[in-house]
């Protein structure tokens, strides 16, 4: 049976879609290319036949986040200022070998990044840009001013494109961090409640904290994000993710402390006394509360907020019952039991605090 034209068209459309998906270079690649082309075109119209620094500024300014675009552009401009100042000084005032001036420039560039507590963000960018300008300017302030303007032009175009054209979506990392933190928090609390050591994930809280950086950067420039007509997440949504992930990360530190106390308790030669209170019931109330908190952070609906708050209230009530049972048992408190109960209370307080903000 021969295939009809609609069938061929459907097959061709699907093939084209698959080829586009496989060969899609990425949004940042396309935005970098557009910003570089526009920077070159704009700079040539201003009279420079080969505006390389405009392209460098555009490439440097196209970062995964809005804050990153501003930060890296500022670092490049700072490098140009340092390089220009040292170039003019070495040519006009200081009779020193150029190698010495380059060494001084690198030292100053790195020192600036360190003193601004931005070395992890800027790295050697200030020093490299400064050396480049120092080597090419020949002590000419006019040449350095032109390169400064080109870099600022390229960085500004990259920033505008990054804001207006498919701006960065900060939700993906925050949602992933929420799921991972909530899952590991349940594992840690379950481990502590069952008096079993869990040393495999003790570094997870610090590793996952870094994943929220992009979400935090989104909130540093709220006016810019509010101006973007095509933003993919509202500031309120981003703030909810940040609050939720920070609360989960803080809760993870308390759960880790409970696991460490349990691990040390299992190494003692003396037998651990029987636990008083409904510890299984406590765990049965805490786990659903964590699940509902995670659902609220990811969903954001009012009903999810109410459900999370109610579940956390039940968990705190059960926690109070276990504390009362241990207090009235007539036996001395063990450091392991006291630590687990104290850290569990802090976990619940952190999560409820995030809901009340």
Indicate if the pLDDT at residue 314 is higher than 50.
yes
pLDDT of the residue at 219:
45
**What sign for the dihedral angle of Cα 149, 152, 155, 161?**
negative
pLDDT of the residue at 153:
92
Instruction: Give strand ranges (E) for 56-106.
Output: none
Indicate if the pLDDT at residue 228 is higher than 80.
no
pLDDT of the residue at 307:
92
pLDDT of the residue at 74:
82
Average pLDDT, whole number, for the chain? 74
Identify whether the C-beta of residue 152 lies closer than 8 Å to the C-beta of residue 74: no
**What sign for the dihedral angle of Cα 62, 65, 70, 73?**
negative
- Which domains, and CATH codes, for the chain? 7-164 (no CATH), 171-356 (1.20.58)
For tokens 């979506």, name the residue: 169
**What sign for the dihedral angle of Cα 146, 152, 155, 156?**
negative
Task: Give whichever of 97-101, 176-180, 182-186, 299-303 has the largest mean pLDDT.
Answer: 299-303
Indicate if the pLDDT at residue 206 is higher than 50.
no
Tens digit of each residue's pLDDT (9 = 90 or more) over 13-43: 666 566 545 445 567 788 888 999 999 999 8
348 versus 116: the higher-pLDDT residue is: 348
Tens digit of each residue's pLDDT (9 = 90 or more) over 290-299: 999 989 988 8
pLDDT of the residue at 78:
79
pLDDT > 90: what percent of the chain? 8
Give the pTM: 0.56
Mean pLDDT, range 341-351, rounded to an integer: 88
pLDDT of the residue at 311:
92
Tens digit of each residue's pLDDT (9 = 90 or more) over 77-92: 877 777 777 777 766 6
Report the candidate in 247, 248, 250, 262 with the shortest Cα–Cα distance to residue 199.
Answer: 262
Identify whether the C-beta of residue 163 lies closer than 8 Å to the C-beta of residue 61: no
Mean pLDDT, range 262-268, rounded to an integer: 65
Alpha-carbon gap, residue 319 to 316, rounded angstroms: 5
Mean pLDDT, range 213-224, rounded to an integer: 47
DSSP characters over 204-240 = HHHHHHGGGHHHHHHHHTHHHHHH-TT-SS-HHHHHH
Tokens of 355: 């809901």
């Amino acid at each position: 049976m021969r295939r009809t034209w609609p069938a061929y068209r459907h097959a061709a459309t699907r093939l084209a879609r698959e080829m586009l998906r496989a060969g899609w270079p990425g949004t940042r690649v396309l935005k970098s290319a557009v910003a570089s082309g526009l920077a070159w075109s704009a700079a040539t119209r201003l009279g420079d036949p080969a505006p390389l620094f405009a392209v460098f500024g555009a490439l440097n300014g196209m970062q995964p986040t809005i804050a990153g675009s501003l930060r890296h552009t500022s670092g490049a401009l700072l490098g140009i200022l340092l390089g220009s100042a040292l170039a003019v000084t070495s040519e006009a005032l200081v009779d020193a070998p150029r190698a010495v001036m380059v060494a001084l420039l690198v030292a100053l560039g790195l020192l600036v990044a360190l003193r601004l507590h931005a070395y992890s963000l800027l790295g050697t960018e200030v020093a490299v840009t400064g050396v480049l300008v120092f080597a090419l300017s020949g002590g000419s302030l006019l040449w350095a001013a032109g390169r400064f303007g080109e870099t600022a032009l390229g960085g500004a175009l990259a920033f505008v494109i990054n804001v207006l054209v498919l701006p960065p979506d900060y939700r993906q990392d925050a949602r992933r961090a929420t799921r991972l933190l909530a899952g590991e928090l349940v594992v840690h609390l379950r481990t502590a409640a069952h008096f079993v050591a869990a040393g495999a994930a003790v570094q997870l809280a610090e590793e996952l904290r870094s994943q929220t950086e992009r979400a935090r950067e989104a909130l540093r420039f709220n006016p810019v994000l509010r101006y973007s007509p095509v933003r993919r997440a509202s500031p309120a949504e981003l703030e909810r993710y940040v609050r939720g992930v920070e609360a989960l990360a803080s809760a993870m530190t308390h759960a880790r402390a409970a696991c460490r106390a349990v691990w040390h308790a299992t190494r003692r030669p003396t037998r651990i006394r029987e636990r008083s209170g409904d510890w299984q019931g406590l765990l049965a109330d805490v786990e659903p509360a964590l699940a509902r908190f995670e659902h609220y952070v990811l969903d954001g609906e009012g009903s999810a907020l109410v459900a999370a708050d109610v579940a956390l209230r039940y968990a705190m009530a059960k926690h109070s019952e276990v504390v009362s049972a241990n207090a009235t048992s007539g036996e001395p408190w063990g450091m392991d039991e006291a630590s687990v109960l104290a850290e569990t209370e802090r976990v619940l307080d952190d999560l409820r605090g995030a809901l009340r903000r």
